[in-house]
Amino acid sequence: MKNTARVSHKEGRIVNVSSEGHRFAYSEGVRFDKINDESSFNTIYAYGQSKLANILHANELARRLKEEGVKITANSLHPGAIATNLLRHHGFLDGLVNLVGKYVLKNAAQGAATTCYVALHPQVKGVTGEYFSDSNIAKPTAQAKDADLAKKLWDFSLSLTDPK
């Protein structure tokens, strides 16, 4: 992407799909010391942690790309509450969503709107390190804006993927 952005003189855009679910992460945000701890695993908090990680990754990537002077933006977004099978393992909730979801949740096209907006719209040109919802910049949690946490997650991810 970096080479393509340089050669084409066109802005590249990286979009991380997150969720308002990032607001329900574990209290420490990311449990680096308990990343695979089954004894304290909680489905809601783990989902929140993963969505928080999506935002933190986009923010750290945006910072790094900007520092390099590369014409690539990185943002994250909440697509909205969409009728999906996300709650398929939560019997009662899944049934409730299936029953009333078609009346209150977004359909697939509506759910894709913010992703398309952030990826393609001219108004987002040059905007980086932001969190969007309903095609607008939105305010994530303080943890999601924590630059130190973002850097720690970046370094932790590298340590997990380093082949050494």
Q: Which residues are annotated as catalytic?
A: 47
Name residue 67's amino acid: E
CA dist 87 and 100 (Å) reads 14
* Distance from the first to the final alpha carbon of the chain: 26
Q: What are phi and psi of 12, to 5 degrees?
A: -95, 150
Please report, for the chain, how many H helices and E strands are present, in that order: 5, 4
Residues 62, 8, 158, 131: is their CA dihedral positive or negative? Answer: positive
